[in-house]
């Protein structure tokens, strides 16, 4: 009988089932595993099987954080650390039976089932298919369980995959602990790669065996099934609460409550495919189902379990529904009040009192059915206002200014707004060093909202706490004046307070009964701020030197080794040295073996009999016998065995190649091996040209072995002028190039590299990056150094570069230019990164500095005289382009304006300008001064709410496109904006003197959407003058040369707009690329090239596919010049369709999300399907097919195209800029 049964439930349309099966075939270390495949019938309504997406992993994750302070630097989030992860959208359901037929549709409809049938036609041992599709995944799991016989169960969705060691890792833990469930960490993945699931990071920071949800409440945030192994007897004893597939997450929660014990393992076991959440909780049926399920789960619990669930559900699950009420119908509001109040009727008073202030306000309004006020509160907590809420003191208590505070008409009790329990310590460590034999730990600490402006407002006490016994030893700590918490701690920062600290630890205080004994200690800060007392373990190191605290010899062979644990807390280890390495080498005389030689230093090392290698973070172990001679030992480790145990999955983002090395005694005691500072480090080639075995020293001085891909190790760096010069060692023989890749979004830059045998030299000039927009500095951010290794098969793999352990202590290395600072440093001890600072000066950075500029400096500057200056702005400083560029060009062509002072707004230095324009830094002092004093402002973008046009100023708003998408007051659902968004918009439009309209059709829309009472210049858009310029052919030829486009190929331009709901942070949107570029290259690459242009808000790079096929033209300054060389435009809802229509060339519209975009995000001004001058295409293959038959497509849309141009482009004649200049500027 098999020990383990893996039950794979998959939609019959699932296209990724083979990837799932391949991951099961690769499982190691488990004998007698059976795999049961259970298909699930495709749903006629895909939303039937959708499940709410995890808020902590999606673009609206910030909505789960209540105050802008919480959630930062590892602080608890709104749900108290219970970051929810659910089985969102397991079905990936196919088309309904009513869709059009055809062979291709039928094939797609049964792709998953076809894969399963093919697998069992020539089955691996233990593989079974239950051929008849089940009606749901819940039914499929039940059917699979009945058909299986294993003692342990795994439930996996067919779209996901397991890491190669997952089953042995989880089952091994269950065998050892006897727990009911073993659960492991999760990585998310898509076609671009994999990454740690943000919602699982904290839950799986530490290994915990035989725990439960009462001891570890954060476990309730782990709500998926596929990362767990279940004991069958436990699973079959769970109550059936009738949850649908949409509420599978609640099934996982109920199981966690029922479990006697759970093993929590930190290594990733599940690769979980990204999938869209199609559940609309504002819809009455989905809302009813979800709230009923939440209440059902609550009713199945009792006592403290129920209280724990209710508290978490109100913070997260019920709130998730509440936050969708702004899109709900009146009937759905009534249903919500009915169901939510029925639930609250059974929630204990203590649970409600223990909620945060914002949640108490939510449910106070729910209890009283105050819909209008609740809607205002929902808008508030989705907007930037949330971060700006102020804390005030009334008597002895602190309150937060959330909606209706001190509003007598609303009558909300003040106690609702009490915030003391939410005022938790935030702390970061900015320095750890030894000085005069003492360990100095420096950083900043305080309570959000309660800055220590004066010395007496905050006092500190510090202790060293023994991690096992709890013994507390007072240690000296002093308060120091430092920059405010969010700013770099420099003398010229905008604001300082008394939030700094410095602990001075005498290591002799760590002795036990006067003796040095092995022990671990942590540092605890007690913060007394205005009568509030909070405790915090010192942790949260900033990147760089603080992440690699030095170790120090305190007596003989006794060392103190500070380090950071998985929770990023500082642990200070007293470590009497017991064994050390004296030599290492690889013996190539036969099968390559790594030989490690050392000596015993103190007991119990001499009792060791094996050397143990443990693959980090604990997913495999290998042991080898010791040869002992006198006080010395040696062991030989086959290199091939280490390489065979390396993990390389998730498109290279999930790699486990590092091995912790120690000695094991007869009684099982583990003795760590020290690699002394005088010992050499080395990387030994594995012999295959790509891999190596590296002997390394950890930041705490211990031995570590890495076996896997050859990695470049940086052993030297220097700044030579503006050039960063790197030198290092690379043991592998593969072709390799270095590159810096941005963290937080998809962007990379090649680093020219010269190889000389096993050494390399590379140079990079971050201040002078050649782009299509000219030479600009690298944008502000952090960039990690990687190597792109070319394989013999023609593929490539990206490998993280390393820093040599002896070299890293010399970092950081800094280059300061007049514009910004560039710092080459480390992240986490051995990872090389380049940090690029902002172009704002220290005194201009941070919330306080910007408020001072806005509220103090700007009003003062407005008192000075208006100066002769035209300030131009295109897309808030992102480009030198669009109608402002055309107006500038027209003015310069006129003699009376040829020498007039003009300036251009530039964001982060990413725009190159001609010499006759003065650069104005966005949010710099010069930005505020120009807005305060310039004679003219010509802009196509929104202006800040604080800008007030003064007498003598003229503001020209050219806007930036004709309108398909709704704008301004016409957008019904303003997502992520403050409650006074419309009031601010009304104020802003009052500052405009002129608003440029592209056509008679657009004029009434602009007047209504902006409620603009001023003069509308119905001139056409100046940016479109280029299409009628006598220089247009010369401009086109110059553009082709600049881009390097071949003359014999057609040019396709793909230029989608941005998605309001696809972003990293506010203002930084994702490239939501749905085109299959590889397939497009295969079909069209012979005679086409593809230009891809991101919207200015999108920060990701464009993936380059094929040879000379894809060109990323996002940084090309003027899209109108790109239109001149474009044969076919592919766009979606972008306003550029109205501009491109002037060319008369074909347009295709890739509108894969038209229903949600039209109905949920923005809405349209006209019937797009009926009016579009080209076909609306839903699939990538549809686009490719239309491109292949573009002549036929163009012919079929000839009449629509003509009508479109007549309606939207009647004023485009090449003279729009002249008309604007004549009316606004006239003659001087």
In this predicted structure, the answer to whether residue 52 has a pLDDT above a threshold of 60 is: no
Please spell the DSSP secondary structure of 896-964, one letter per residue: GGTTS-EEEEESTT-----TTEEEEETTSHHHHHHHHHEEEEEESS---TT----TT-EEEE--S---S
CB 103 within 8 A of CB 111: no
* Distance between CA atoms of residues 717 and 810, nearest Å: 9
In this predicted structure, the answer to whether residue 91 has a pLDDT above a threshold of 60 is: no
Percent of the chain with pLDDT over 90: 75
Same domain, 545 and 619: no
Helix (H) or strand (E) holding 763: strand 759-764
Report CA 1038 to chain centroid distance, whole Å: 39
* Distance between CA atoms of residues 736 and 797, nearest Å: 10
Q: What is the pLDDT of residue 1078?
A: 84
* Distance between CA atoms of residues 40 and 10, nearest Å: 6
Q: Residue 341: helix, strand or coil by DSSP?
A: helix
Helix (H) or strand (E) holding 138: helix 137-147
Angle, CA of 714, 719 and 724, to the nearest 5°: 55
Tell me what the mean pLDDT of segment 685-689 comes to.
89
The domain spanning residue 159 has which CATH number?
3.90.550.10
- CA 633, 639, 641, 644 torsion: positive or negative? positive
Which pLDDT tens digit goes with each residue over 904-915? 999 999 999 999
Please spell the DSSP secondary structure of 533-566, one letter per residue: EEEEESB-BPSSGGGSPPPEEEETTEEEEEEE-T
Count the Cβ atoms, other than its own, within 10 Å of residue 1140: 27
Q: What is the pLDDT of residue 971?
A: 76
Buried b (16+ CB within 10 A) or exposed e, 694-705: bbbbbbbbbbbb
Does residue 1085 belong to any structural domain of this protein? yes
The domain spanning residue 1005 has which CATH number?
3.40.50.11820
Domain boundary among the residues 708, 738, 763 is at 708
CB 277 within 8 A of CB 1156: no
Same domain, 719 and 627: no
Write down how long the chain is: 1228
Does residue 1175 belong to any structural domain of this protein? yes
Strand partners, 438: 435
Q: What six digits make up the tokens of 1211? A: 């004023």
In this predicted structure, the answer to whether residue 48 has a pLDDT above a threshold of 50 is: no
Q: Which of 674, 667, 661 is nearest to 635 (CA)?
A: 661
Same domain, 1007 and 1148: no
The domain spanning residue 512 has which CATH number?
2.60.40
Which has more pLDDT, 68 or 1136? 1136
Q: Residue 858: helix, strand or coil by DSSP?
A: helix
* Distance between CA atoms of residues 713 and 727, nearest Å: 8
Q: Cβ-count burial of 965 within 10 angstroms (0-12 exposed, 13-18 middle, 19+ buried)? A: buried
Give the residue numbers spanning the domain of 533: 426-574
Strand partners, 784: 741, 833
Same domain, 911 and 955: yes
In this predicted structure, the answer to whether residue 312 has a pLDDT above a threshold of 50 is: yes
Which pLDDT tens digit goes with each residue over 94-121? 333 333 333 333 444 578 899 999 999 8
pLDDT classification of 1155: cutoffs 50, 70, 90? confident
* Distance between CA atoms of residues 419 and 404, nearest Å: 15
Same domain, 902 and 821: no
pTM reported for the whole predicted model: 0.86
* Distance between CA atoms of residues 449 and 357, nearest Å: 15
Same domain, 665 and 749: no
* Distance between CA atoms of residues 40 and 52, nearest Å: 20
Beta-carbon contacts of 470 under 8 Å, excluding residues fewer than 6 positions away, are: none
Does residue 328 belong to any structural domain of this protein? yes
In this predicted structure, the answer to whether residue 1063 has a pLDDT above a threshold of 60 is: no
In this predicted structure, the answer to whether residue 673 has a pLDDT above a threshold of 90 is: yes
Q: Residue 415: helix, strand or coil by DSSP?
A: helix
* Helices vs strands, H then E, count in the chain: 33, 65
3-state secondary structure 268-289: EEEEEECCCCCCCCCCHHHHHH
Q: What is the pLDDT of residue 436?
A: 96
Beta strand ranges found along 303-365 (DSSP E):
none
Q: What is the pLDDT of residue 95?
A: 31
* Distance between CA atoms of residues 684 and 691, nearest Å: 9
- What's the whole-number average pLDDT of the chain? 89
Q: Which of 198, 193, 93 is nearest to 653 (CA)?
A: 193
Angle, CA of 1033, 1037 and 1043, to the nearest 5°: 140
Which pLDDT tens digit goes with each residue over 975-989? 656 677 778 888 999
CB 9 within 8 A of CB 141: yes
DSSP conformational letter for 169: H
Domain boundary among the residues 991, 1006, 1024 is at 1024
Q: What six digits make up the tokens of 1003? A: 């004029």
* Distance between CA atoms of residues 42 and 1178, nearest Å: 20
Same domain, 275 and 287: no
Q: Cβ-count burial of 236 within 10 angstroms (0-12 exposed, 13-18 middle, 19+ buried)? A: exposed
Tell me what the mean pLDDT of segment 636-648 comes to.
95
* Distance between CA atoms of residues 661 and 450, nearest Å: 47
Strand partners, 740: 749, 785
Same domain, 540 and 613: no
* Distance between CA atoms of residues 803 and 812, nearest Å: 12
Residue with tokens 């040095």: 516
SS3 content of the chain, % helix, strand, coil (to 5): 30, 30, 40
Q: What is the pLDDT of residue 1093?
A: 84
* Distance between CA atoms of residues 46 and 96, nearest Å: 9
Q: What is the pLDDT of residue 965?
A: 76
Which pLDDT tens digit goes with each residue over 206-223? 999 999 999 999 999 999
Q: What is the pLDDT of residue 845?
A: 92
Same domain, 1042 and 1056: yes
Q: What is the pLDDT of residue 193?
A: 73
Same domain, 831 and 908: no
Does residue 67 belong to any structural domain of this protein? yes
Which pLDDT tens digit goes with each residue over 538-560? 999 998 899 999 999 999 999 99
Does residue 395 belong to any structural domain of this protein? no
Q: Which of 610, 633, 636 is nearest to 623 (CA)?
A: 610
* Distance between CA atoms of residues 710 and 686, nearest Å: 9
* Distance between CA atoms of residues 538 and 465, nearest Å: 11
Which pLDDT tens digit goes with each residue over 369-427? 999 999 999 999 988 888 889 999 999 899 999 999 999 999 999 999 999 999 999 99
Q: What is the pLDDT of residue 704?
A: 97
Does residue 667 belong to any structural domain of this protein? yes
In this predicted structure, the answer to whether residue 241 has a pLDDT above a threshold of 70 is: yes
Q: What is the pLDDT of residue 1157?
A: 66
Q: Which of 155, 160, 137 is nearest to 232 (CA)?
A: 155
State the Rg of the chain over Cα. Answer: 32
Report CA 961 to chain centroid distance, whole Å: 30
Does residue 363 belong to any structural domain of this protein? no
Q: List the single range of 229-238, 371-380, 918-927, 1099-1108 with lowest mean pLDDT.
A: 1099-1108
Distance separating the N- and C-terminal Cα atoms of the chain: 95
DSSP conformational letter for 1098: B
pLDDT classification of 250: cutoffs 50, 70, 90? very high
Strand partners, 832: 826
Tell me what the mean pLDDT of segment 680-698 comes to.
93
Q: What is the pLDDT of residue 801?
A: 96
Count the Cβ atoms, other than its own, within 10 Å of residue 583: 13
Which pLDDT tens digit goes with each residue over 629-640? 999 999 999 999
Tell me what the mean pLDDT of segment 326-335 comes to.
94
Q: What is the pLDDT of residue 1101?
A: 58
Angle, CA of 362, 364 and 369, to the nearest 5°: 90
* Distance between CA atoms of residues 67 and 62, nearest Å: 10
Q: What six digits make up the tokens of 173? A: 């833990």
Which pLDDT tens digit goes with each residue over 1069-1106? 455 677 888 888 889 989 999 998 876 565 555 666 65
pLDDT classification of 611: cutoffs 50, 70, 90? very high
Helix (H) or strand (E) holding 320: helix 318-322
Domain boundary among the residues 794, 821, 837 is at 837
Helix (H) or strand (E) holding 847: helix 847-852
The domain spanning residue 1145 has which CATH number?
3.40.50.12580
Same domain, 970 and 891: yes
Q: How many domains does the chain have?
A: 7
Same domain, 673 and 726: no
CB 632 within 8 A of CB 599: yes
Q: What is the pLDDT of residue 506?
A: 97
In this predicted structure, the answer to whether residue 93 has a pLDDT above a threshold of 70 is: no
Report CA 797 to chain centroid distance, whole Å: 22
* Distance between CA atoms of residues 48 and 204, nearest Å: 31
Alpha-helical regions (H) of 190-302: 198-201, 232-236, 248-258, 284-299
Does residue 84 belong to any structural domain of this protein? yes
Helix (H) or strand (E) holding 53: none
Q: What is the pLDDT of residue 1072?
A: 63
Which pLDDT tens digit goes with each residue over 852-885? 999 999 999 999 999 999 999 999 999 999 999 9
Residue with tokens 């990164």: 833
Cα-based distances in Å from 1068 to 853, 1074, 1108: 24, 19, 28
């Amino acid at each position: 009988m098999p020990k383990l049964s893996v039950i794979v439930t998959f939609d019959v349309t699932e296209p990724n089932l083979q990837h799932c099966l391949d991951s099961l075939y690769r499982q190691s270390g488990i004998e007698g595993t059976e795999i049961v495949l259970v298909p699930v019938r495709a749903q006629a309504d895909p939303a039937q099987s959708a499940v709410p997406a995890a808020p902590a992993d999606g673009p609206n994750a910030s909505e789960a954080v209540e105050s802008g302070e919480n959630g930062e630097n590892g602080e608890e989030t709104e749900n108290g650390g219970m970051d929810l992860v659910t089985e969102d959208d397991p079905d990936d359901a196919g088309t309904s039976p009513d869709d059009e037929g055809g062979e291709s549709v039928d094939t797609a409809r049964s792709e998953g089932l076809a894969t399963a049938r093919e697998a069992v036609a020539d089955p691996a041992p233990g593989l079974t298919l239950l051929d008849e599709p089940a009606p749901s995944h819940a039914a499929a799991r039940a059917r699979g369980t009945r058909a299986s016989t294993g003692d342990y169960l795994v439930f996996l969705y067919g779209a996901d995959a397991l890491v190669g060691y997952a089953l042995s890792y989880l089952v091994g833990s269950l065998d050892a602990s006897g727990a009911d469930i073993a659960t492991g960490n999760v990585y998310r993945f898509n076609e671009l790669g994999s990454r740690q699931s943000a919602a699982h990071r904290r839950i799986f920071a530490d290994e915990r065996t035989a725990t439960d949800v009462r001891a570890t409440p954060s476990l309730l945030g782990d709500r998926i099934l596929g990362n767990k192994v279940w004991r069958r007897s436990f699973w079959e004893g769970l109550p059936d609460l009738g949850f649908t597939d949409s509420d599978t997450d609640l099934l996982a929660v109920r199981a966690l409550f029922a479990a006697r014990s759970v093993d929590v393992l930190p290594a990733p076991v599940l690769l979980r495919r990204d999938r869209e959440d199609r559940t609309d909780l504002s819809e009455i049926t989905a809302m009813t189902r979800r709230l009923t399920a939440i209440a059902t789960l609550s009713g199945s619990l009792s006592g403290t379990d129920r209280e724990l669930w209710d508290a978490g559900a109100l913070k997260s699950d019920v709130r998730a529904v509440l936050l969708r009420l702004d899109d709900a119908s009146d009937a759905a509001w009534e249903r919500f009040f009915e169901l939510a109040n029925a639930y609250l009727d059974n929630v204990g008073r203590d649970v409600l009192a223990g909620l945060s202030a914002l949640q108490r306000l939510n449910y106070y309004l729910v209890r009283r059915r105050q819909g209008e006020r609740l809607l205002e509160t929902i808008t508030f907590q989705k907007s930037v206002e949330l971060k700006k809420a102020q804390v005030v003191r009334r008597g002895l208590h602190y309150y937060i200014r959330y909606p209706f505070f001190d509003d007598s008409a609303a009558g909300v009790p003040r106690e609702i707004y009490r915030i003391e329990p939410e005022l938790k310590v935030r702390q970061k460590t900015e320095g750890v060093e030894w000085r005069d034999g003492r360990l100095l730990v420096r950083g900043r600490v305080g309570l959000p909202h309660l800055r220590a402006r004066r010395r007496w407002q905050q006092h500190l006490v510090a202790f060293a706490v023994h991690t096992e016994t709890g013994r507390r030893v007072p240690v000296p700590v002093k308060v120091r004046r430092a920059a405010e918490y969010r700013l770099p701690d420099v003398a010229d920062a905008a604001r300082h307070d008394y939030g700094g600290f410095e602990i001075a630890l005498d290591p002799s205080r760590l002795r036990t009964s006067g003796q040095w004994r092995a022990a671990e200690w942590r540092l605890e800060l007690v913060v007394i701020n205005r009568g509030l007392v909070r405790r915090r373990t010192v942790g949260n190191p900033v990147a760089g030197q603080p992440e690699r605290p030095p170790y120090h010899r305190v007596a003989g062979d006794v060392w103190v080794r500070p380090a950071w644990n998985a929770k990023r807390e500082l642990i200070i280890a007293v470590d009497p040295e017991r064994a050390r390495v004296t030599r290492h080498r690889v013996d190539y005389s036969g099968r390559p073996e790594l030989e490690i030689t050392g000596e015993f230093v103190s007991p119990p090392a001499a009792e060791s009999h094996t050397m143990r290698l443990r693959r980090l973070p604990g997913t495999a172990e290998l042991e080898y016998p010791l040869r002992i001679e006198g006080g010395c030992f040696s062991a030989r480790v086959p290199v091939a065995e280490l390489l065979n145990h390396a993990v390389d999955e998730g498109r290279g983002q999930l790699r486990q190649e590092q091995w912790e090395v120690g000695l094991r005694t007869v009684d099982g005691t583990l003795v760590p091996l020290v690699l002394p500072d005088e010992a050499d480090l080395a990387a030994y080639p594995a012999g295959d040209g790509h891999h190596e075995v590296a002997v390394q020293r950890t930041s705490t001085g211990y031995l570590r072995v890495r076996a896997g891909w050859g990695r470049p190790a940086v052993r030297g760096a220097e700044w030579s002028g503006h050039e960063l010069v790197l030198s290092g060692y690379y043991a592998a023989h593969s072709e390799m190039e270095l590159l810096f890749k941005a963290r937080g979004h998809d962007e990379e830059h090649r680093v020219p590299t010269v190889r000389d045998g096993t050494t390399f030299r590379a140079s990079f000039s971050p201040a002078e990056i050649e782009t299509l927009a000219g030479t600009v500095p690298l944008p502000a951010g952090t960039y990690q150094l990687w190597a792109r290794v070319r394989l013999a098969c023609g593929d490539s793999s990206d490998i993280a570069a390393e820093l040599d352990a002896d070299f890293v202590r010399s970092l950081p290395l800094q280059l300061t230019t007049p514009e910004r600072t560039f710092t080459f440093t480390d992240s986490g001890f051995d990872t090389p990164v380049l940090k690029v600072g902002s172009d704002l000066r220290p005194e201009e950075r941070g919330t306080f500095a910007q408020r001072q500029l806005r509220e103090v400096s700007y009003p003062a500057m407005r008192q000075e005289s208006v100066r002769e200056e035209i300030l131009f702005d295109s897309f808030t400083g992102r480009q030198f382009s669009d109608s402002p560029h055309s107006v500038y060009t027209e003015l310069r062509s006129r003699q009376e304006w040829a020498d007039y002072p003009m300036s251009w707004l530039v964001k982060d230095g990413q725009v190159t300008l001609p010499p006759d324009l003065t650069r104005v830094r966005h949010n710099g002092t010069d930005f505020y001064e120009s807005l305060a004093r310039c004679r003219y402002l010509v802009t196509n973008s929104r202006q800040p709410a604080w800008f007030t046009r003064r007498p003598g100023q003229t503001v020209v708003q050219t806007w930036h496109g004709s309108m398909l998408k709704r704008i301004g007051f016409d957008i019904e659902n303003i997502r992520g904006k403050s409650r006074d968004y419309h009031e601010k918009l009304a104020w802003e439009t009052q500052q405009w003197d002129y608003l440029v309209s592209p056509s008679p059709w657009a004029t009434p829309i602009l007047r209504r959407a902006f409620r603009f009472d001023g003069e509308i210049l119905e001139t056409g858009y100046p940016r479109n003058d280029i299409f009628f310029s006598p220089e247009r052919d010369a401009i086109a030829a110059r553009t082709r040369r600049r881009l390097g486009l071949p003359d014999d190929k057609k040019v396709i331009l793909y230029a989608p707009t941005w998605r309001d709901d696809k972003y990293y942070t506010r203002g930084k949107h994702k490239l939501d690329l749905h085109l299959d570029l590889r397939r497009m290259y295969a079909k069209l690459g012979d005679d086409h090239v593809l230009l891809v242009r991101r919207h200015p808000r999108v920060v990701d790079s464009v993936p380059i596919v094929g040879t000379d096929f894809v060109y990323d033209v996002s940084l090309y300054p003027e899209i109108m010049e790109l239109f001149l060389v474009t044969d076919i435009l592919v766009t979606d809802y972008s306003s550029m369709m109205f501009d491109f229509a002037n060319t008369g060339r074909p347009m295709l519209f890739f509108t894969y999300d038209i229903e949600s975009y039209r109905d949920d995000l923005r809405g349209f001004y006209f019937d797009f399907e009926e009016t579009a001058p080209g076909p609306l295409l839903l699939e990538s293959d549809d686009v490719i097919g239309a491109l292949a038959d573009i002549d036929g497509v163009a012919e079929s849309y000839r009449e629509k195209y003509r009508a479109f141009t007549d309606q939207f482009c009647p004023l485009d004649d090449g003279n729009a800029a002249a008309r604007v200049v004549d009316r606004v500027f006239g003659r001087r």
